[in-house]
């Protein structure tokens, strides 16, 4: 059991091992932090859904190298983002800026949430309406039918006891 647990925990770490290992030198921990933040946030243009840190494609390598040299040159985050977007468009940003083209991406979740709550609200309110009034007095004929059924049951029980 312990061994199984241990292997499960170890398996969690294998994801980190799959990330690309490159040795770039930085002067300050902040530069390194910014580099890692960028390669997590920037998307590989050649791949469909991988960030720069996870991709081994040639273009990702180039972009990582470019990113490193831009950080070492003291470029600001905004300058780096602008540089990347000017070349690869909004696609490269995992968190695209809000524009007419990306509006659908940003607004769709809110729209779907509203739609969902609307449907839920309509269903809840219609269920309330459908609920029948329960404590309505039974009509004369229903009363008689009920009594007959109950009597039937009583008779049946007596028959069972006797046998």
Partner 1 sequence: MQRLKLFLPLLVFALLAAVFFGVERRVQTGDYAPTDLPSALIDKPLPDFVEPALSDGRPINKSQIVGEIFLLNVWATWCPTCHFEHPFLLKLAAEGVKIVSIDYKDDADAAKRWLAEKGDPYFLTLFDEDGSLGLDLGVTGAPETYLVDAAGVVRFRYQGALEKKVWDKEFAPRIAGLNAKDSDQ
CB of 149 to partner 1, least distance (A): 31
Of residues 40, 77, 91, 112, which one binds partner 1 by CB under 8 A? 91
Does residue 63 interact with partner 1 by CB under 8 A? yes
Binding mask 94-133 for partner 1 (x = CB under 8 A): ----------------------------------------
Does residue 48 interact with partner 1 by CB under 8 A? yes
Q: What gap in Å lies between CA 64 and CA 42, rounded to an integer?
A: 10
Contact call for residues 59 and 87 (beta carbons, < 8 A): no
CB of 96 to partner 1, least distance (A): 13
Q: What is the DSSP string of 3-70?
A: HHHHHHHHHHHHHHHHS-------SSHHHHHHHHHHHHHBBPSSSSS-BTTT--SHHHHHHHHHHHHH
Find, among 74, 92, 2, 77, the residue nearest to 36 by Cα: 77
Of residues 19, 20, 59, 72, which one binds partner 1 by CB under 8 A? 59
Nearer to partner 1, 16 or 124 (CB): 124
Does residue 89 interact with partner 1 by CB under 8 A? yes
Q: What gap in Å lies between CA 11 and CA 67, rounded to an integer?
A: 31
Of residues 5, 58, 124, 159, which one binds partner 1 by CB under 8 A? 58
Q: What gap in Å lies between CA 28 and CA 35, rounded to an integer?
A: 11
Q: Could you list the residues that contact partner 1 (CB under 8 A)?
A: 45-46, 48, 58-59, 62-63, 66, 85-89, 91
């Amino acid at each position: 059991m312990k061994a199984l647990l241990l292997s499960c925990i170890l398996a969690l770490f294998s994801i980190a091992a799959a990330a690309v290992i490159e040795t770039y030198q930085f002067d300050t921990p902040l530069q390194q932090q910014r580099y890692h933040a960028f390669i997590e946030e920037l998307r590989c243009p050649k791949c469909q859904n991988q960030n720069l840190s996870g991709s081994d494609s040639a273009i990702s390598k180039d972009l990582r190298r470019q990113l490193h040299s831009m950080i070492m040159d003291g470029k600001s985050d905004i300058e780096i983002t602008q540089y990347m977007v000017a070349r690869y468009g909004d696609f490269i940003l995992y968190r695209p800026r809000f524009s007419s083209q990306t509006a659908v991406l940003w607004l769709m979740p809110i729209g779907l949430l509203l739609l969902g709550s609307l449907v839920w609200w309509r269903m809840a309110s219609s269920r309330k309406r459908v609920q029948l009034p329960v404590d309505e007095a039974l009509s004369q004929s229903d009363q008689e039918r009920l009594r007959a059924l109950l009597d039937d049951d009583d008779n049946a029980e007596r028959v069972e006891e006797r046998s």
